[in-house]
Chains A and B, each alone.
Chain A
Amino acid sequence: MPILSKRKVPQEAEIPTASMADIAFLLIIFFMTSTVFMREKGLKIALPEKTDQVVKIGGERVIRVSINDVGEIFLDEDPVATFELKEKLAQRIADYKAQHEGRDPLVVLRTNVDAPYEKMIEVFDVIKQVPEAKAVSLASIRTGG
């Protein structure tokens, strides 16, 4: 047994930091994949300004698409089905343009207040898909006072 004990070598303390980055990136990836993005989407429309002035529009310039209280669709006075509305409306607009030196008609979507909103969107969607329909406006029909 030696008389003098060996001199103590100071031990180096070490914190393992190599895996720290892995943990952090794992957290980032976890949050990235678990995030649900709210994708906002819809149909755009610009409303007309409310003024006291009455703007007169010639009756023939207006193409009326109407929805009655039970959800039936009319193009001017003729009943139409949803699938044929697109073609017929495009035809009507083309006819108007041919007669009036290429001026755009005004498409008015008149919806009965008792009609379901879904129906109105369905028809509005069809009108939106007609590229010739440049001026579209919304109106409502109230029946029985």
Chain B
Amino acid sequence: MRLKQRIPSKTNIPTSSMSDIAFLLLLFFLVTTKFRKEIGFQVILPEARATERIIKTEDLARIFINSKGQISVDDFLVQPSDVVIRFRLKIAENPAMIAYIKADKRVKYNYVDQVLESLREAKALRVIFATEFKEGLGG
């Protein structure tokens, strides 16, 4: 019997479609990414230990209050009375809307209070005060 010489078999991993998959992933993330256009104000947020993460970020409607007490909603400089109208519309569009107040920590409480009153008037009752995590224990 003649022994056949073994030919070393070539293993082949098909890598030609790998790039397709990678580009597909790239495109998917490019398309699904939502860019936030709102600029608002640059504010220094207060710090709090009881700060919670917010999971449903798509329901948030941001209100900026800067250190001078100016109020910005949807990148419009507004008066507290305008907040009522804007938030009535927002709450009509999305009843699960949460007002997210990004107020500068140096601002007088008066401005925040006016916004809160306006929100009550607009029946936007779910409110979150934007804060930063506070370091350290206790308190």
Which residues of A approach B to under 8 Å, CB–CB? Answer: 17-18, 20-21, 23-25, 27-28, 31, 38-50, 67, 82-83, 86, 111-122, 124-126, 128-129, 138, 140
The answer, among A23, A44, A50, for a CB contact under 8 Å with B52, is A44
A62 to B24, CA, bound (A): 60
Residues on the B chain within 8 Å of A38, using CB: 36, 57
Are A46 and B103 interface neighbours, CB within 8 A? Answer: no
Cβ of B86 within 8 Å of any chain A Cβ, yes or no, is: no
Q: Which residues of A contact B50 (CB under 8 A)?
A: 43, 125, 128-129
Q: For B113, what are the chain A residues with a Cβ–Cβ distance below 8 Å?
A: 111, 113, 138, 140
Nearest residue, chain A, Cβ from B107: A117
Given contacts A41-B130, A126-B139, contact A24 B125 (CB under 8 A): no
In B41-74, the 8 Å CB interface with A consists of 46-54, 57, 60
A24 touches which one: B22, B112, B126, B134 (CB < 8 A)?
B22
Q: List B contacts of A41 (CB < 8 A).
A: 51-54, 130-133
Say yes or no: A140-B128 contact (C-beta < 8 A), given A117-B104, A121-B46.
Answer: no
- Say whether chain B's binding surface is mostly helix, strand, loop, or mixed: mixed
Q: Is B19 an interface residue (CB 8 A)?
A: yes
How many of chain B's residues have a CB under 8 angstroms from any CB in A?
52
Q: How far is the CB of B25 from chain A (nearest CB, A)?
A: 6
When C-beta atoms are compared, the residue in chain B nearest to A19 turns out to be B19
Q: A43-B52, A115-B109, A118-B46 given. 6 additional CB < 8 A pairs?
A: A27-B22, A41-B130, A49-B120, A113-B109, A117-B107, A140-B109
- Is residue B12 contacting chain A, with contact meaning CB distance below 8 A? no
Instruction: Let me know if A124 and B127 touch, CB within 8 A.
Output: no
**Chain A CB within 8 A of B116 CB:** yes
- For B36, the chain A residues whose CB sits under 8 A away are 38
Find the B residue at minimum CB distance from A23.
Answer: B19
Q: A35 to chain B: closest CB distance in Å?
A: 8
Q: Check A114 against B108 for contact (C-beta < 8 Å).
A: yes
* Given A28-B22, A121-B48, A138-B116, A39 contacting B53 (CB threshold 8 A): yes
B16 touches A (CB below 8 Å): yes
Q: Say whether A125 contacts B48, CB under 8 Å.
A: yes
A67 to chain B, nearest CB (A): 8
Tell me if B105 counts as interface (CB < 8 A to partner A). yes
Smallest Cβ distance from B119 to chain A, in angstroms? 6
